[in-house]
């Protein structure tokens, strides 16, 4: 869903252009790192870019017999990673604007944000999450294609809606209403394309994986996952984002929960705390509340921790062989013949 040339003006033009340039800087630095690490694969960047540009020209059935074109950027993200995928998406947008008047130079920044960041990086993320959850290539890539596209529409809609709500003269509605109207206008048209992209992306990645699994391994699309890191990050994010729960407070005795009078100190405090405080004072440190106050979060936190632990345990167990298996284990199934140059 390209935003047409000339639609964004003033502050929204500048903001999206600066943000788009930042995304391109990130992506280009990834490209440079790729070339530095593997100089013999430099042509692959160009060919991959040509491929991404081609995918954006492929006709897929939309609705009522019409044809439209996929974004192609979720597939770029899956195959090349979020940074390079976003950068190549950006370059593809330059060519689309120059050669086919699709999008434009003034809205390049906005389109990079939606198609590059949302489509490529978002698509990559959804794919990785899908794989972490144990989904096969078809499902994970399909999910990536669908959700990457939807994210693209959301970002484009948000940019347009934001422009109308905050920077256009005499807006009738707020941002939320504008976004809802834009999405209502575009979803009936774009949803069939998103479904088509889901199918094409899933089938394409599955075909590549079946025919030439070493290509996906070489591109690190399928790799031994650092599950612990991702899960750990996820848990930390969950921790920090939870609202405080007041079901159990360290100042209220458990037996008298609900009966304490406000402002009155507790009659009894826990022995552990008293000992810790005494030891801290003896060491010359000032006792203070924990930086992350788990107790204040209460039972909801405990339940989430339990669920997260259970899920993590399930995934680690299922993927044990990837984490601790040998590096040169052959993939299951017959090895397909490779093409000789």
Partner 1 sequence: MSGYLSISDLLKAEKAMAGHLRSGLRCMDARLKLALVVVAVLFNVVLLDYRLSLGLLLTAWIGMAASRAPFRQMAWFVVAPVWATLPVVLGLAVGLGQTPLIKIGHLTVYHEGLAQGGQAALRVLADTSWTGLLFLTTPFTEILAALRWFHLPVVVVDTLGFMYRYVFLLWEEFSAMRISARARGGLLGWRRQWHTTGVITAQVFLRAYDRAQRIQQAVQARGGV
Partner 2 sequence: MSSRLQTSSLPACSPLPGIAACKPAPVSVPAGQAVLEAEKLHFRYAEESDAVAGVSFKIMPGEAVALCGHNGSGKTTLMKLLAGLLKPVKGRVRVAGTELDTRSAREVFRTVGLLFQDPQDQLFCNSVGEDVAYGPRNLVLSEAEVNERVALALDITEVRHLEKRPIHHLSGGEMKRVALAGIVAMQTSVLILDEPFDGLDPAATARLVTLIRHLANDHGYTVVMATHQMSLVPEVADRMLVMQGGLLIADGPVRELLTNIPLLEQARLEPPSITRFFYKKALLENRKPERLPLTLDEALQWYRGKTE
Task: Pick the binder of partner 2 from 36, 37, 39, 43 (CB under 8 A).
Answer: 43
Tell me the C-alpha distance between 307 and 230, whole Å. Answer: 16
Tell me the C-alpha distance between 272 and 285, whole Å. Answer: 17
Q: Should residue 337 be labelled a site residue for partner 2 when binding is judged by CB under 8 A? A: yes
**Mind giving me the DSSP string for 275-295?**
HHHHHHHHTTPPP---SS-HH
Q: Where are the beta strands (DSSP E) in 10-91?
A: 60-61, 67-68
Q: Should residue 335 be labelled a site residue for partner 2 when binding is judged by CB under 8 A? A: yes
Q: Should residue 340 be labelled a site residue for partner 2 when binding is judged by CB under 8 A? A: yes
7 CB burial (10 A radius; 0-12, 13-18, 19+): middle
Which of partner 2, partner 1, none does residue 188 bind to, with CB < 5 to 8 Å depending on kind?
A: none
- Is the CB of 50 or the CB of 181 nearer to partner 2? 50
- Is the CB of 151 or the CB of 159 nearer to partner 1? 159
| Least CB distance to partner 2 at residue 90 (A) | 20
Nearest to 95 by CA among 34, 167, 46, 23: 46
- What phi and psi values does residue 61 have, to the nearest 5 degrees? -65, 135
Q: Which stretch binds partner 2 (CB under 8 A): 70-78, 134-142, 277-285, 330-338?
A: 330-338
Which of partner 1, partner 2, none does residue 276 bind to, with CB < 5 to 8 Å depending on kind?
A: none
- Is the CB of 121 or the CB of 137 nearer to partner 1? 137
What are the structure tokens assigned to 218, written together? Answer: 């070489």
- Is the CB of 69 or the CB of 319 nearer to partner 1? 69
Residue with tokens 């094409």: 200
| Least CB distance to partner 1 at residue 64 (A) | 11
What does the CA dihedral 165, 125, 97, 167 come to, rounded to 10 degrees? 10
- What phi and psi values does residue 335 have, to the nearest 5 degrees? -80, 120
| Least CB distance to partner 1 at residue 122 (A) | 20
Which of partner 2, partner 1, none does residue 290 bind to, with CB < 5 to 8 Å depending on kind?
A: none
- Is the CB of 263 or the CB of 341 nearer to partner 1? 341
- Is the CB of 251 or the CB of 338 nearer to partner 2? 338
Which of partner 2, partner 1, none does residue 68 bind to, with CB < 5 to 8 Å depending on kind?
A: partner 1
Tell me the C-alpha distance between 128 and 245, whole Å. Answer: 32
Q: Which stretch binds partner 2 (CB under 8 A): 202-210, 245-253, 270-278, 331-339?
A: 331-339
Contact 280, 286 (CB under 8 A): yes
- List contacts with partner 2 (CB under 8 A): 43, 335, 337-338, 340-341
């Amino acid at each position: 869903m390209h935003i047409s040339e000339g639609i964004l003006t003033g502050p929204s033009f500048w903001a999206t252009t600066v943000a788009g340039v930042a995304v391109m800087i990130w992506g280009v630095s990834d490209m440079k790192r790729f070339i530095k690490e593997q100089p013999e694969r430099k042509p692959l960047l160009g060919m991959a870019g040509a491929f991404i540009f081609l995918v954006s020209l492929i006709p897929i059935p939309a609705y009522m017999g019409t044809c439209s074109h996929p974004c192609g950027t979720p597939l770029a993200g899956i195959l090349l990673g979020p940074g390079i995928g976003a950068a190549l998406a950006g370059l593809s947008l330059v060519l689309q604007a120059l050669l086919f008047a699709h999008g434009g130079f003034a809205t390049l920044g906005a389109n990079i944000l939606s198609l590059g960041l949302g489509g490529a990086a978002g698509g990559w993320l959804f794919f990785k999450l899908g794989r972490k959850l144990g989904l096969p290539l078809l499902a994970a890539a399909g999910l990536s294609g669908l959700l990457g596209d939807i994210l693209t529409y959301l970002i484009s809609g948000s940019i347009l809606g934001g422009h109308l709500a905050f920077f256009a003269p005499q807006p009738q509605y707020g941002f939320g209403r504008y976004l809802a109207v834009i999405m209502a206008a575009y979803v009936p048209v774009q949803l069939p394309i998103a479904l088509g992209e889901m199918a094409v992306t899933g089938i394409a990645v599955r075909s590549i994986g079946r025919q030439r699994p070493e290509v996906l391994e070489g591109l690190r699309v399928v790799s031994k996952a650092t599950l612990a890191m991702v899960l750990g990050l996820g848990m930390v994010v969950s921790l920090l984002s939870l609202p405080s729960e007041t079901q159990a407070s360290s100042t209220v005795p458990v037996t008298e929960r609900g009966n304490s009078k406000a402002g009155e100190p507790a009659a009894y405090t826990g022995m552990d705390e008293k000992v810790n405080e005494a030891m801290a004072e003896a060491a010359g440190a000032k006792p203070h509340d924990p930086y992350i106050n788990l107790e204040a979060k209460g039972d909801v936190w405990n339940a989430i921790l339990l669920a997260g632990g259970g899920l993590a345990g399930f995934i680690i167990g299922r993927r044990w062989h990837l984490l601790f298996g040998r590096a040169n284990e052959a993939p299951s199934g017959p090895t397909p013949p490779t093409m000789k140059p």
